[in-house]
Structure 1
Amino acid sequence: MQIERKDLDQKDEQNGQFRQYPIYPYSITKLRTRCTIPSKEAVVQKNVIKSQHVIGPFDAEFDGKARTRPYKFESMLNFVIHVSMIETNWLTVASSLMENMPTCPYTIITIAVIMREIPSPQVTTVSMVLNEQYQLSQNRAVAPDLDVRIEKNICLVLNCLAEKLVGTHSAAIFTDNVCSYLCHIFINSRYHNDLELQMRALLALEKFAATTENKAMIVGRLALLNIFHLSNLETFFMDISGEHGVRREVGYCAKWALDNIFPKPGRQLSYDTVDITTINCMLKNDSGNIYLKYSPDLMEIRNDTMLSQTLHGTCEVEEGMWFYEITMITEGSLTVGWASTGADTEKSVGDDMFSLGYEGNYRIMWYNGNPYNISLGRWRVDQVLGCLLNITNKSISFFLNGFEVVMNSNDFFSPTRPPKKFFPAITMSPFQQCIVNLGQKPFRSAPEGVQFSALSSVGQLTPQLRMIYGMPRSAMQERQASFNASEDACDICCDRAVDVTLHPCGHR
């Protein structure tokens, strides 16, 4: 594999040397102390806190140990998972995540990964943390000494618990005090005026609302406190159509919540305000997770699940030059690239020989599970990454901030019978958001002097796909009920015959 870096602002080309750093297994050395032996609680806290620094950004060009970081984080994570099997240690882990983690985009990823991987605790253990140790209630939410950093972490941990313990356990931990705490944080009763904190409270409320009892409690409490608050937050998305960052995130989440979770009587659904009949391609994910959120025009996507989600284009090409671009709404981990026939749709982009992608925070190109350092710069919110596929020359180019990196790979473009097809692909870490432009709108980062085609010119989307990804689930079910489908038709696609019945809901 060869990489070439170009400065697009200069006429002469500057070739940057491309290096692949070796990866060595991370080994844990024995702890040796001179005076005192740290307590088990202190060791657990240290590993939890240090994991955020390991997973955070680094300069791979100057950090000689950069390639060992994934293995170091995995070792720390395995340690935390192992000790969390004991309930008292689970309490220590949860407390460390809520109280000691700093304000940083990588804190979000760290908390999501750890909460996802550690064993599920007993309901009594969770209740002890929420009600006794942190005393979540209205009093805490409106306290004058409110620590925004800690409350953000608490809301994120609650979010993960609601997703992980969905069902009766979720209803058990969502007490009246916890509901009151989240609702008061969300409506800004304390006037903390932190939009990100409000958004994290809203996202936690969404997850808890998955059960009927919890949803009724939330709707009732919000109606008493401020019934218009969610609608007011939605205006952020309308007022800042050209702005990105946390204000856009809040507006996007508020609009999605009003469409999907907390509908407002008489409000027109966003899906009905957009004409998507001309949209013929998108990036889709087959997991069916409702918290992988699509805008009605299918261009803006947000991953509010605990898992990294890989999305693949519905448009496939075999020859020529093709371009698409991604606009960063958040600054967390996102891998953007291309995949080909045979790619594992459940793996991250770049984890096998059939896909490759650029991760802009770490400035790393991933291919076949191997990381490669490239000098393209670390992306920021509102920046646009352009991706050009040249099948004829067997090259892929990435464009960012006036620079271009060209990658040549005979393996990725190796001929097959029948000929392989190529399509755009991205992997989104938890709680990340971006805009995908496959040609539906004018490009912001298109390379000059290059004759390429837009993927939107060859894609095809069925009305069912547009409805499944762009329409709120409740509205989709109502519309499906009006279809003239046969009695034995599938409840989801309304096309093929039923061969499975889900219990206890009875959907077929």
Structure 2
Amino acid sequence: MFSGAVRLFFVSAMNGLHYTLFLRLPRWLHGRAPPPALRSGVGSEDGINSAGLSTVTDKYVLDTLAVIRTLVDNDQEPPPSMLKLHTIADKEAGWLVVVRSMVQVIPLHDPLGPAVITLLLDDCPLPSKETVVHLCKFFELSEESAQESWKDPQLHRNICVVLGCIAEKLAGPASIALLTDTTLEYLVAHLNVDNHPCVILFALIALEKFAQTSENKTSIGQYMGQGLCNPLRTLEQWMSDNDYVRRQVGFCAQWCLDNLFICEGRPYSYENVDTTHLNAMLNNNDVSEYLKISPDGLQARCDASSFESVRCTFQVDSGVWYYEATIITAGVMQIGWATKDSKFLNHEGYGIGDDEFSVAYDGCRQLFWHNAQSESHLHPSWQPGDVLGSLLDLTNAEVIFYLNGDPLPPLTQVFNNATCGFFAAASFMSFQQCEFNFGKKPFMHPPKDIAFQSFNDHAYLKESEKIILPRHIKLQKLRAMSVEEGACTLCFDERATISLMPCLHRGFCERCALQLEICPMCRRDIEERREVDEKSDGKSEIT
């Protein structure tokens, strides 16, 4: 669980911030003395001077980062450090102290650092357009400082995270105002192979967030250039690098070239993928909206502030099955098994392991998840390069997880509600990524003394089903499709046979209807779903 365990506390801690932010401050990010606004009115109520406020804020930020891994229960009280940050951030200048602190003290190598910045900023008020204009001055951005990011990669990584978070929250004129020439030069200057790969990664993600506004997208594309001079063309070659941070850069560079910053003359990545003997992959049609899937269908990454989920293409109903996931990032992911009845509630933060039809392994917080309840396990926290193995034994009704070949005791709870129809599945917190192996290549740590089957040996995919199209091409094809009369208004694939109760709105197939919690037409809660008999107009209740 992500929302109940983490987001709820950030929402409660930051709730009530109602001011408009004004960043009309001199530059003081690099340890300079705080401006007059911070020397008065902030902390004085508690008898803390500005220097002391900065010191204690640093401590609260680090304490919050440390306690994130323990936030797993909705009934837990918010940690004291978060309540203190709420008090400080309740004033304009105090909010700036919190932002400065996050930029300066969140460590470069903590796997949850960027996600904590995102969570803290996500529930703050949107800055005004005037505020946005002064932001790059506040951060002392310049192309020259970007070229020296190796001297302080932690600082520049965190600045890029903050810029990306704010760009994601903004839209239209405010986002355009933030992407000044200075900001654009600063971010693009980081896309140099000689810079620290972690800074390159988050500068690239920030540019992606800015490109959500079409005018910014055009400006960024023109500035980076066409052909081989585009820095992303070099960075995408890191896709298979042995360094896992560089591999993330390669993934994001390739995704941006396919989906955002199109280079004339460059083939799309899916056109060069060898799909020979590829019989099982992540299902690009059974995925929450912001998850990125690689062109070969075997890697997934989330750079959104939501909790994104995906199932694979192959369903198993009997026997013993095994797959592996190589950990690219060491943050919060919930990887395991789910049936088609499991729901992806990405904005609410519920994913695999958060309902009665799924079970998941969380190697960051060292937990199992089932039905939104957690149970600790004895594996160490996973690290980039670790291999998570997952075995589903439908004969003996148990699930076994392995980390680098080391098994944990079997889990059985999920079989109280589901006995067949399982898919390999996973959910991802912000900035997390892993690579799946469903048997196309040899497993790294196959279970010993247990006979199992792999998806790739038994599944089948049409050639058209192996193609992961860039989003804009997929959208064009959907627009060009002639939708069959009576098709589901959500997926356009199945017949619309379901009526939602009590509002009686129709137009959905059974699979899509089961994914809905509220009616998309009237927003009323769905109490039940009824199948409509087209011949007799009779209705019968379905599960």
Q: TM-score, normalization: structure 1? A: 0.77
Contact 1:206/1:257, CA 8 A, preserved across alignment: yes
State the 1:67 CA deviation: 7.3
In 1, the alpha carbon distance for the partners of 2:395 and 2:494 equals 39
Task: Check the 8 A contact 1:314/1:460 in 2, yes or no.
Answer: no
Cα deviation code 1:19-43 (max 9, x no counterpart)? xxxxxx9xx9xxxxxxx83359545
SS at match of 2:400: strand
String of CA shifts for 1:102-154, please: whole Å, max 9, x gaps.
Answer: 222221221122122333232333443x2332222324324699522111000
Map 1:80-479; keep pairs closer than 5 Å.
80=85, 84=89, 86-103=91-108, 104-128=110-134, 130-142=135-147, 146-187=151-192, 193-223=195-225, 227-237=229-239, 240=241, 243-276=242-275, 278-283=278-283, 286-289=287-290, 292-340=291-339, 342-346=341-345, 347-409=350-412, 411-414=413-416, 420-457=420-457, 459=459, 466-467=466-467, 470-479=468-477
Alignment of 1:71-82 (within 5 A): 71=76, 76-77=81-82, 80=85
Match of 1:62 in 2: none
Distance 1:138 1:269 in 2: 30
| Maintained 8 Å contact 2:356/2:417 | no
Partner letter of residue 141 of structure 1?
A
CA distance in 2, matches of 1:161, 1:393: 50
Q: Secondary structure at the match of 1:399?
A: strand
Q: Distance in 1 between matches of 2:274 and 2:153?
A: 40
The one-letter code sitting in structure 2 at the alignment partner of 1:435 is E
2: CA distance between counterparts of 1:366 and 1:205? 34
Which stretch shows the higher mean deviation, 328-337 or 219-228?
219-228
Tell me, in whole angstroms, the C-alpha distance in 1 between the residues paired with 2:140 and 2:101.
16
Could you tell me which residue of structure 1 aligns to residue 525 of structure 2?
A: none
Contact 2:282 2:298 in 1 (8 A): yes
User: Could you tell me whether the CA contact under 8 Å between 1:87 and 1:125 is conserved in 2?
Assistant: no
The answer to whether the Cα contact below 8 Å between 2:353 and 2:370 also exists between their aligned partners in 1 is yes
Q: What SS class does the counterpart of residue 247 from structure 1 fall into? A: helix
Q: Distance in 1 between matches of 2:486 and 2:260?
A: 29
Measure the CA separation in 2 of the matches of 1:136 and 1:226: 27
* Residues 52 and 110, structure 1, Cα contact 8 Å, conserved in 2: yes
Offset at residue 478 of structure 1 (A)? 4.7
Alpha-carbon spacing, 1:201–1:492, altered in 2? closer, same or farther (3 Å): farther
Aligned in 2, Cα 1:93/1:144: closer, same or farther, shift over 3 Å? closer
Q: Cα–Cα, structure 1 residues 415 and 249, in superposed 2: closer, same or farther, change >3 Å?
A: closer
Secondary structure of the residue aligned to 1:379 is coil
* Distance change in 2, residues 1:281/1:246 (3 Å): closer
**Cα displacement (A) at 1:326:** 0.5
Whole-Å separation in 2 of the counterparts to 1:179 and 1:124: 18
Does the 8 A contact of 2:387 with 2:444 survive in 1?
yes
Cα gap change, 1:390 to 1:494, in 2 (>3 Å): closer
Q: Which blocks of at least 5 consecutive residues in structure 1 are unaligned? A: 1-24, 29-35, 59-65, 503-508
- Distance (whole Å) between structure 1 residues aligned to residue 289 and residue 73 of structure 2: 34
Aligned residues: 448
In 2, Cα distance between equivalents of 1:224 and 1:387: 43
Distance 1:326 1:434 in 2: 6
Contact 1:302 1:432 (C-alpha < 8 Å) held by counterparts: yes
2: CA distance, partners of 1:216 / 1:267: 18
8 Å Cα contact 2:318/2:420 also seen in 1: no
Identity of aligned residues (%): 31
Letter in 1 for 2:282: M
State the alpha-carbon separation in 2 of the partners of residues 94 and 100 from structure 1.
Answer: 10
Residue 43 of structure 2 is matched in structure 1 by none
Cα distance, 1:491 vs structure 2: 11
1-structure distance, mates of 2:120, 2:463? 39
SS at match of 2:329: coil
The alpha carbon displacement at 1:490 in A equals: 9.6
* Residue matched to 1:6: none
Change in 2 beyond 3 A, CA 1:483/1:422: closer
With over 3 angstroms needed to count, the CA separation of the structure-2 counterparts of 1:415 and 1:494, relative to structure 1, is closer
Alignment CA distance shift 1:136-1:480 (3 Å): same
Verify the 8 A CA contact 1:281 1:459 in the aligned structure 2.
Answer: no
CA RMSD in angstroms, aligned pairs only: 3.8
| Paired amino acid for 2:63 | K
Contact persistence 2:308–2:344 (CA under 8 A): no
Counterpart AA for 2:364:
N
Offset of 1:196 from its aligned partner? 1.4
Contact kept, 8 Å, 2:142 with 2:182, in 1: the verdict is yes
- Measured after TM superposition, the shift of residue 455 of structure 1 is 2.8
Is the CA contact 1:313–1:425 (under 8 Å) kept in the aligned structure 2?
Answer: yes
Deviation at 1:356, TM superposition (A): 2.0
SS of aligned partner of 1:325 = strand
SS of the aligned residue for 1:385 comes to: strand
What is the Cα deviation at residue 250 of structure 1? 1.6
CA distance in 2, matches of 1:479, 1:39: 60
Residues 84-105 of structure 1 show CA distances to partners (whole Å, capped at 9, x for unaligned) of: 4543333222222212222222
CA offsets, 1:414-451, max 9 Å, x none? Answer: 267xx553222222121111111222332222112322
Gaps of 5+ in 2: 1-8, 14-45, 497-506, 509-519, 521-543
Give the Cα–Cα distance (whole angstroms) in 1 for the partners of residues 425 and 205 of structure 2. Answer: 26
Normalised by the length of structure 2, the TM-score is 0.72
